[in-house]
Structure 1
Amino acid sequence: MASLFEYAPAPESRSVVDIAPSYGLFIDGEFTDAADGKVFKTVSPSSEEVLSEVAQAGAADVDRAVKAARKAFEKWSALPGSERAKYLFRIARIIQERSRELAVLETLDNGKPIKETRDADLPLVAAHFFYYAGWADKLDHAGYGPNPRPLGVAGQVIPWNFPLLMLAWKIAPALATGNTVVLKPAETTPLSALFFADICRQAGLPKGVVNILTGYGDAGAALVEHPDVNKVAFTGSTAVGKAIARSIAGTDKKVTLELGGKGANIVFDDAPIDQAVEGIVNGIFFNQGQVCCAGSRLLVQESIHDELLDSLKRRLSTLRLGDPLDKNTDIGAINSAEQLARITALADTGEAEGAERWSPACELPSAGYWFAPTLFSNVTQAHTVARDEIFGPVLSVLTFRTPDEAVAKANNSQYGLSAGIWTEKGSRILAVANQLRAGVVWANTFNKFDPTSPFGGYKESGFGREGGRHGLEGYLAPSHPKGER
């Protein structure tokens, strides 16, 4: 995109990561072929080149992995918390040591800019393992009763937008609390989970404690429905989350669902405009908007609408779209052809319904999956782009006059995952935040994450919390016998 300065290319070297031509499933501490021999290819979204061939798990493989996890559970759960902590600390340190390699791998397989994987994803991945390592010997003091017990085998299904970070959110608390894990990464981003399997071996983690199954939705469904899985943790779309809730209804499986969102980013007339613009850009264009808590609905107080929009357009014109491995790149590739088609269709619908579409002058690469940063103005709450989760670099701009109207519009959604408030008044931040039906509310910032802080949603954004002390609850059973208090 146009810039006052020409940036010389600054590509990160691909040679730091060694991708094998093929990978098996990771079951009981070993890489193994799928039972039926099926494989699929994983491609780089920015170039469409095939990165590797990966084993495709079926129901027989799920059963094998769950059996391995069940067998490992006996010894793993019997270890003192301080011993489990040692493994988690070791994993965290290895992640730090291999962070450059993992950042390049994640960028190649996912399409997001290297500066995001390097500076945001990887530090947070290590931080989650460090944090939950610290909890492993303190579970009596977590607020869930004396001597809380692990549940057993956790079946975990994660999405493609933050492959390694979502893995950390799921695996770290599960292991700290004494559970064993069978994890299925998304089919478009399997590689970092397979590299994590190697990290588990490098850390000397006992066999069967972590199992990684690459495959499609049928493998995820088989894992969720497996009768010997005690806990289901899923991050992904609301539609799949509802299907999971239906499939485990009537069982005693514990479940955490972190689903879609349509976050409202509210800018009041006393907000610092330049700071707000940076927060808006970070809120919706970070990871190409492929973030469940993205600030995809911008609510601007009417009196500053024109000024803010002008400033925002100027800022968007300076964003650099292109090679995700280039350290100067702000906007990377969309994760898959399927996701690009969905974003394109929803943006076209917004235009057809009368919203005013704008994108900065932007040259898209000829290969790969790309979508220019886009904003829609003159949007009403009836527009599809204001209601549906687009999961792409598309921002809808609405206006409000009073704080009450801002709250009403922000809450007018089937989702309730995140929100942002921009104002210089602390009292207004507290008053508005208290009325927003959102699991996470940021004040004068956006997309800030910390392993010590719980994350989760209301309404169709799911239930349960991940991160922080609260993230332990989903993996623990109280120590008292059933029926007693």
Structure 2
Amino acid sequence: MNVHIHAAPKLVGPAAAFVAAPKKLLIGGQWVPALSGKTTEVIDPSSARVVAHVAEADKADVDAAVKAARAAFEGPWSRMLPAERAKLMWKLADAIDAITDELATLNSLENGKPINDSRKGEVPFTAETFRYFAGWATKINGEQIPISAPGDWHCYTRREPVGVAAQIIPWNFPLSMLAWKIAPALAAGCTVVLKPAEQTPLGALRIGELFAEVGFPDGVVNVITGFGETAGAALSAHPDVDKIAFTGSTDVGKLIARAATGNLKKVSLELGGKSPTIVLPDADLDVAIAGAASAIFFNMGQCCTAGSRLFVHKKVYDRVVEGVAAGAAAMRIGAGLNPETEVGPLISREQFDKVTGFIEDGRRDGAEIVTGGESFGEDGFFVTPTVIAKTRPDMSVIREEIFGPVVCAIPFDTDDLDAIARDANDTAFGLAASLWTRDLGLAHKLAAKVKAGTIWINTHNFNDCALPFGGFKQSGWGRELGAQALDLYTQVKTVAIRLP
């Protein structure tokens, strides 16, 4: 059964000093309070205690931040050479590396994720994302186009920055999502107004300090903290924002898309998922069992790509489900800052209630809770890793994104790839999927049939800065990371010259 390990160590050092200091908005290179004077609480989900207060931005603060971003875009940033932008981004990445422990501590404090995941995974990936896109800053170019019209012509295209980019990021990967948004925008020559999730503002504010320290001009990156219903809505509808980028739920993404129609700003959305993990009968079961468990329990299941639907061939179903359940039951649950923790808390009371509500819905509808399905501990928002069996396609645990450590195991008994893909595709989402098999020919064929933006073979939740990431169907619009991310922040201008 799950082990509840000791509570987190006391917060000390630079992270403690940062948490204790006043938290203001970064607008035009200055740290300023919200014009209303309002603040909001930051909760440690491991203890449910308030650990900090940050400024709560509203429409007037958004206006000021957009104005600052516009001034920087029309001013110093547009005059800066691509190589100079690249150097600043490299300096920022080095500055992030230099305070890895501090950023990891802030990340696990406000998000609850295991400190080792922050220290060894998210913070280094954040720095690496800035380095990757720094390399692209000098490589954004148009092309000369031969045409067939009569006469002498010289025709070419230019790829130019969109302008002011508003970016709204989620709480599940606060630092890496910051980099996924800001880095390609800066490489393209855009300026940014960033709104971190209200639950996880601390890491974004700390990185905001680094932009000034390494020499970015004032107003190139602005950070406003606050709520989606106010600051986020104001950004989405703002008439002087040229581009809105959002990662979060599909429902909120639809609201943002509607708000953006006022000035038809460019929109990119990375939204929800209900990703299938498909274990074929010839799979290496030791690898598949560990992979299926990691697919759903990594980051407490709070991943848009979480492998929440586990399809397993009947020949190996019992062994796979027993293995995943045994692994789930053995995971160490505890505070994010405890280095022994494998599973931290959910982000908030709201998320805790949502996840436990889905589990109760499954019970009521007749599903079997193989393991887990309970709250855990006296403090914080902990839910035990949960495996559910005996589900039906119409159950809410199958249809809806739970966003917690809950996986539904579903047997299948066919070798027909079209039938397997049909069940995997029976969802409104299409963000990711993983296939587990020793037959790579079979893997390629099934990968072509599954409707998702990313297909992993014998792995799950693998990312690299060079790999484009995004969804099919209601999982979003556009691709982040890779060269394709630059399309989100540039626009093409055609120049046609009649030669004398």
Same-fold status (TM-score > 0.5): yes
Match of 1:239 in 2: 251
Q: CA deviation at 1:296?
A: 0.5
Residues 1:143 and 1:300: Cα distance change in structure 2 (over 3 Å): farther
2:169 is matched by which residue type in structure 1? I
Match of 2:232 in 1: 220
**TM-score normalised to structure 1 length:** 0.95
* 3-state SS, counterpart of residue 472 of structure 1: helix
Aligned counterparts of 1:282 and 1:233: Cα–Cα separation in 2: 28
Aligned counterparts of 2:231 and 2:399: Cα–Cα separation in 1: 31
Structure 1: gaps spanning 5 or more residues: none
Q: CA deviation at 1:307?
A: 1.3
Following TM superposition, where does structure 1 have runs of at least 4 consecutive aligned residues deviating by more than 6 angstroms?
6-10, 141-145
1:68 is matched by which residue type in structure 2? A
Q: How many pairs does the alignment contain? A: 481
Residues 5 and 341, structure 2, Cα contact 8 Å, conserved in 1: no
Aligned counterparts of 1:212 and 1:466: Cα–Cα separation in 2: 20
Q: CA deviation at 1:387?
A: 0.7
Aligned counterparts of 2:237 and 2:304: Cα–Cα separation in 1: 25
Residues 16 and 104, structure 1, Cα contact 8 Å, conserved in 2: no
Q: % of aligned pairs identical?
A: 44
Residues 136 and 177, structure 1, Cα contact 8 Å, conserved in 2: yes
Is residue 68 of structure 2 the alignment partner of residue 68 of structure 1?
yes
* 3-state SS, counterpart of residue 148 of structure 1: strand
454, 462, 477: which one aligns with 1:463: 477
Decide which structure has greater strand share: 2
159, 166, 177: which one aligns with 1:155: 166
Aligned counterparts of 2:89 and 2:190: Cα–Cα separation in 1: 13
Residues 1:12 and 1:301: Cα distance change in structure 2 (over 3 Å): farther
Match of 1:302 in 2: 314
2:251 is matched by which residue type in structure 1? A
1:199 is matched by which residue type in structure 2? L
Q: Give CA deviations for 1:285-344 in whole Å, capped at 9, x if unaligned.
A: 111000011111000011111111122222222211112112221100110001111111
397, 402, 410: which one aligns with 1:398: 410
Aligned counterparts of 1:467 and 1:425: Cα–Cα separation in 2: 29
Residues 1:277 and 1:141: Cα distance change in structure 2 (over 3 Å): farther
Residues 1:143 and 1:313: Cα distance change in structure 2 (over 3 Å): farther
Match of 2:79 in 1: 78
* 3-state SS, counterpart of residue 325 of structure 1: coil
Q: CA deviation at 1:21?
A: 4.0
Q: CA deviation at 1:100?
A: 1.0
Match of 2:281 in 1: 269
Q: CA deviation at 1:422?
A: 0.1
Match of 1:174 in 2: 185
Q: CA deviation at 1:26?
A: 0.6
Q: CA deviation at 1:50?
A: 1.6
Aligned counterparts of 1:49 and 1:91: Cα–Cα separation in 2: 32
Residues 11 and 327, structure 1, Cα contact 8 Å, conserved in 2: no
Residues 1:362 and 1:384: Cα distance change in structure 2 (over 3 Å): closer
185, 196, 200: which one aligns with 2:196: 185
Aligned counterparts of 1:355 and 1:2: Cα–Cα separation in 2: 22
Match of 1:477 in 2: 491
Aligned counterparts of 1:141 and 1:125: Cα–Cα separation in 2: 29
1:31-430 alignment, distance < 5 Å: 31-74=31-74, 75-140=76-141, 146-217=157-228, 218-249=230-261, 251-360=263-372, 364-402=376-414, 403-430=417-444
Q: CA RMSD in A?
A: 2.1
Residues 142 and 469, structure 1, Cα contact 8 Å, conserved in 2: no
Aligned counterparts of 2:265 and 2:374: Cα–Cα separation in 1: 49
Residues 1:68 and 1:395: Cα distance change in structure 2 (over 3 Å): same
* 3-state SS, counterpart of residue 480 of structure 1: strand
Residues 238 and 461, structure 1, Cα contact 8 Å, conserved in 2: yes
Aligned counterparts of 2:262 and 2:106: Cα–Cα separation in 1: 40
Is residue 463 of structure 2 the alignment partner of residue 449 of structure 1?
yes
* Structure number with bigger Rg: 2
* 3-state SS, counterpart of residue 299 of structure 1: strand
Aligned counterparts of 1:11 and 1:438: Cα–Cα separation in 2: 41
Aligned counterparts of 1:444 and 1:193: Cα–Cα separation in 2: 34
1:120 is matched by which residue type in structure 2? G
Residues 1:424 and 1:30: Cα distance change in structure 2 (over 3 Å): same
